[in-house]
Structure 1
Amino acid sequence: MTGTGAWFTVAVPAALVGAASFGMASAVQQRATKQVPNIRTLNPRLLFELVRKPIWLASVGTVIVGLSLQVVALAYGPLMLVQPLLVTSVLFAALHAAWLAHRKLDRIVVLGALGCMSGLSAFLLLARPAGGDETIEPQAIPLAVVLGVITVVCLLAASRFPGEIRVIALALATGVIYGVTAALMKVVASQFRAGGFVEPFQHWVLYAVCLVGPCGFLLSQNAFQQGKLISPALAVITTVDPLVGVAIGIGWFGERVVATPAVLGGQAAAAVAIIGGIVLLTHRGEALRREIEDNESIDSDGTVTWG
């Protein structure tokens, strides 16, 4: 099965079910992080605490299912189709988190998530990256430095500012690291296809993946633990990840994108939609955080009730 038919019969269902898997897993993970002590950013102790929770372990299995479905979707459909569909994990996560907390799904949260998804879809459709190879060139260093600086600034902001600002900063750093990890995994896959199972072990890229990937996952758990709601953090992660991927494709692998004035204008509008969606989610998340904290009361027997 090839062509457009495979997009709609294989790629789209796989991407949507994968997004649902990611969303459900993220909602469960966010809930599990509330059941362990609040641990500082990038401290591996958080994972040791979480691994004792059977529901968290089950969510990791769900993530693996989602990743497998993402690979299937990308095998049969283009990146520009699959990545925007994966952003629907924000909606699935919001729905599942609301169900777990016995709350109604907030309409403004849905609107913000749709803004991120539509902006990302438009950006990828307009950019249409193509060409390039899977070899990291020396000119990759400036972009690597920029991405490293962004990550460090986000971590510093997370250590300084409370509330949703901290959550967004952690999520932004996570998205950057996830995007870098995906690019490095693309190189590893290329090395595997070219030289077999042993080939990747002869290059530094595989070992970088083993270092960077777990850091991104740990940061995502930090972001989930710090946020009252799942949507703002997950929206930032799932939006920034593919955008970093596009930047790396251009800066590292020599991919080309359409860059006419009309396209650049459209991309600017798409960026506004993405930023607007994230800002809306951030402000609404902060308002809901305060509402939840105001309505939260502790009974005399130590149980928590929600007003």
Structure 2
Amino acid sequence: MISVLFAVLTAISNGSASVLQRRAAATAPDSDAMRLSLIGHLLRKPVWLAGIGLVMVAAVCQAVALATGPIAVVQPIFVIELPMTLLIASYAFHSRLPRATWYGVAAVTVGLAVGLGSAAPTGGSETVEDLSWIPALIVTGLFEALLIAVALRTRKNTRAALLGLAAACAYALTAALLKDAVARLEGGSGVTAFFSSWQLYATAVAGIGALFLLQNALQAGSLVASQPMLTLGDALISITYGVTLFGESVRTGWWLLPELIAIALITAGCIELARSPLASGTSPPKPRAR
């Protein structure tokens, strides 16, 4: 229960951060794409710095969630970050969400419930043997390199989608490394083992890489292109890490049918929600006086 609560808090913080970061990244020139100058441009934007503050809050909440629950349960809950953000934004802007947006909220919520109920992730170990990380890191590195190489040959929304998936993969890796590092806090020499583990510092490197890829995805195209890839990619790749690295188990067989239906619902819901002006970092138009 604690893991679910902190996963929800992480989703709220991350979703809000994405909206703020998208608002700042959209003002960056195309010439800054995949360059460190993009970060320099964003550092001068207070709205982006506010988003980074929320990212830090999310990191703490995520660490608690991963320390108390399986990665295959915690990470998929993050698909609710966009619906939660829109609900908060609509309250802040004193505006009503259109009916289509509510349908999107319902689709994501139902999809998450159906997906977790069908997959029913269970079991798994708290830590990973160091040697098991080698093939995982190699495959992840090759996958990331392929996505970035193809993205650099494309433009606009196609690039945003590919970089969004690359960011999702990096965030999923960050979560897996973080879970492995936090698990080392247990025991008499937990603090020493935690700060001496390579996983902790690899978490920081992967997290910075994920943040860099996300900024480029948000700068390249619309939120409609990047958000579904980011949301679903993070969930599905995290489940893969949970199964292959931590030995967690999910249902297969005929359970794949409702799981695919859940993915379709979440995808459709994310696309609809990402079209909202609130998700793009702008307030909806006010109704005209009659």
Shorter-chain TM-score range:
0.7 to 0.9
Q: CA deviation at 1:236?
A: 2.6
* 1:176 CA drift (Å): 0.7
SS at match of 1:216: helix
Name 2:222's counterpart in structure 1: 228
Amino acid at match of 1:135: V
Q: Which residue of 1 aligns with 2:144?
A: 151
Quote the Cα distance in structure 2 between the aligned partners of 1:89 and 1:266. 25
Tell me the distance in 2 between the aligned counterparts of 1:114 and 1:237.
Answer: 19
Secondary structure of 1:36's aligned partner: coil
**Paired position in structure 1 for 2:286:** none
| Equivalent of residue 193 in structure 1, options 186, 197, 222 | 186
Q: Residue type of the partner of 2:11?
A: A
User: Contact 1:175 / 1:241 at 8 angstroms: preserved in 2?
Assistant: yes
Post-superposition shift, 1:40? Answer: 4.9
- How far has the Cα of 1:185 moved from its partner? 1.2
Equivalent position of 2:177 in the other structure: 184
Q: CA RMSD in A?
A: 3.7
Q: 1:300 — aligned with what? A: none
Q: Which runs of 5+ in 2 are unaligned?
A: 281-290
Query: Which is further off, 16-25 or 50-59?
Result: 16-25
**Distance in structure 2 (CA, Å) of the matches to 1:181 and 1:143:** 12
What pairs up with 1:112-191 in 2 under 5 angstroms?
115=107, 118-125=110-117, 126-136=119-129, 138-191=131-184
TM-score, normalised by the number of residues in structure 2: 0.75
> d(CA) in 2 for partners of 1:212 and 1:164?
24
Q: Determine the structure 2 residue equivalent to 1:266.
A: 255
Matches of 1:158 and 1:130 in 2, distance apart?
Answer: 37
Give the alignment partner of residue 87 of structure 1, picking from 51, 75, 79: 79
Distance 1:127 1:35 in 2: 42
* Equivalent in the alignment of 1:211: 205
SS in 2 for 1:122: helix
Instruction: Decide whether aligned partners of structure 1 residues 127 and 267 sit closer, same or farther in structure 2, where only a CA change above 3 A counts.
Output: farther
Please report how far the alpha carbon of residue 50 of structure 1 lies from its aligned counterpart in structure 2 after TM superposition.
0.9
Contact 2:76–2:234 (CA under 8 A) maintained in structure 1: no
C-alpha distance in 1, partners of 2:56/2:9?
Answer: 12
Q: Which residue of 2 aligns with 1:295?
A: none
Q: Which runs of 5+ in 1 are unaligned?
A: 1-6, 293-307
**Residues 200, 78 of structure 1: CA spacing in aligned structure 2 closer, same or farther, 3 A cutoff?**
closer
How far apart in 2 are the matches of 1:169 and 1:101?
32
Q: The residue matched to 2:28 in structure 1 has which SS? A: coil
Q: Is the 8 A contact 2:110 2:265 kept in 1?
A: no
Equivalent residue for 2:18, pick from 20, 23, 26: 26
Distance in 2, matches of 1:235 and 1:69, equals 22
In 2, Cα distance between equivalents of 1:107 and 1:158: 34
1:55 is aligned to 2:47: yes
Distance of 2:113 and 2:145 partners within structure 1: 28
Bigger radius of gyration among the two: 1
Amino acid at match of 2:219: Q
Q: Does 1:66 align with 2:55?
A: no
